[in-house]
Amino acid sequence: MAWHNDDELNADAAQAIAKELDRARNVLGVEIPGGHVWHCSLSLRAEEGDLTDQKWADIAQDFMDEMGFTEASGRAPAQWVAIRHGHSKAGNDHIHIAASMVREDGTKWSSWRDFPRAQQAARELEKKYGLEELSPTHSTRGLRPGEREASERRGAPEPERRSLERKVRACATSAQDEAEFIRRLRRTGALVRPRYASGRDDVVVGYSVAERPPKGGRPVWFGGGHLAKDLALPKLRAQWPDSPQGAAEAVAEWQAAARGRRPVTTGREAHEPDPQMWEQYSDEVARLRETLRSVPLDDHATWAHVARETSGAFAAWSTATEATPGPLAAAADELSKTAQLRRYPVRPIRSAGPSARGASLMLMAASMGGTGTAAQAIMLRQLLNVAKAVHDMHRASNDLRRARQISHMVKHHLSQVAAALPSVPAATPTADSEAAAAVRASTAGQVAGRSAGSVLPPKYVQDRTHASTRSGSARPDIER
């Protein structure tokens, strides 16, 4: 049975649709633990404009065919409805789908692996209907329904998931070992707790973090791998040395964090780096840019590794200098999308050549003063060159959406950072000419100054210490 029209959906019509969806379950007396209605959203980006009602109807029909709700599955169909009710807050044209998980013959639709199945169906529909195709290589964690609304109710500038992701990313990239990572993370004000192996309190297999709640509130915990795919503890450990002494030091810090005690020891996180290291690590980022010229486009693991480190450098800078999320936070968030792969190699990549980790170390301490903004301007230029290389990789791989997003980030966010810093001397030999031109073009006509969420304080003071599916519960939307 199918029906459609373009009438406004009122309460009576909504109740009639709900009754029809429940008909098979009620008549046949079938119950499904955890909920019997499957929900999904299909969304375009605002830049893609709107589709006609007929095209959305065709897309919805094809999508439900692929998901096994219709006669196309070779089984009895299940009732479903697709509703289009205007743009989202971000201006996205979209539809919501609700489907009964009870078929008309009383059998049950299987939700096994529904999320990857929905993603695959969406990729096929993008090709069929000439829509902008998402990357088959990269995949990020979305917000769960209600997270954005909860942050708005608290008056927070962004959902906690996003702020915690940057804090973890900044600390992981700045730290030289696991123990330092834990200490740095605690210094950001985040709550940290380990997840121990079953029956053990000396073997840590995972971790969770939370923002400190207001008095009387309860913290909302997020596992590292639920913040971002590349922030799970095993993936973080792949970038640090592995030794019995290091493992013992890390366990001691995890235990101190779990018990709310002071860190067991102090390390680099408590001290300002040697100012001479600014030049050393800027040169290293420049060498990293040169090595990327020979990295194949299909070496996804290496590109993701580089994006993770570069995102971490911007996250460290943001953590050190931005009271609210500003252009540096936007840069970190954008590059983190390239850092997360749908599938990771069996053997993780360990950084053996030039790296952006030293840049993270220096930028994490930017608010301490150091050599001042001139050194930061040179570091920014080198990080821009690496971001440009990541952009070029996406463009050459025909991932035009990601290329446009990175280009937009440089022109509309990092240009603010460049405008607030001294000009880099033209004689600097390591600057990528195209990146330099992009910054010059994007900063033309701008006035340097600090706005809310800006990259830098007015001056540095010395000696300063985005296919969701759900059945009964919510999961991130399939967005474009």
Do 234 and 282 share a structural domain? yes
- Residue at 108 is within a domain: yes
Question: Cβ atoms within 10 A of the Cβ of 459, count?
Answer: 9
Whole-number Cα distances in Å, 256 to 154, 224, 353 = 30, 19, 34
Sheet holding 191-196, edge to edge: 191-196, 204-210, 222-223
Q: Are 229 and 341 in contact (CB under 8 A)?
A: yes
Close Cβ partners of 459 (under 8 Å, ≥ 6 residues apart):
none
Containing domain of residue 382, as a range? 147-465
One domain, residues 116 and 215 = no
Model-wide pTM > 0.75: no
Within a domain: 4:
no
Looking at the fold, whether 108 and 166 belong to one and the same domain comes out as: no
pLDDT value, residue 5: 61
Do 283 and 162 belong to one domain?
yes
The predicted-structure confidence for 220-261, as pLDDT tens digits, reads as follows 999 999 999 999 999 999 999 999 999 999 999 999 999 999
Neighbour-count burial for 418-457, b at 16+ CB within 10 Å, e otherwise? bbbbeebeeeeebbbeebbebbeebbeeeeeeeeebbbbe
Which pLDDT does position 405 carry in this prediction? 93
Low-confidence ranges of the chain (pLDDT < 50): 1-2, 370, 427-431, 434, 438-466, 470-480
Same domain, 60 and 184: no
For residues 471 and 34, the answer to whether their CB atoms sit within 8 Å is yes
Whether 270 and 372 map to the same domain: the answer is yes
Question: How deeply is 258 buried, as exposed, middle or buried, from its count of CB atoms within 10 A (0-12, 13-18, 19+)?
Answer: middle
How many domains does the chain divide into?
Answer: 2
Is 417 found in the same domain as 304? yes
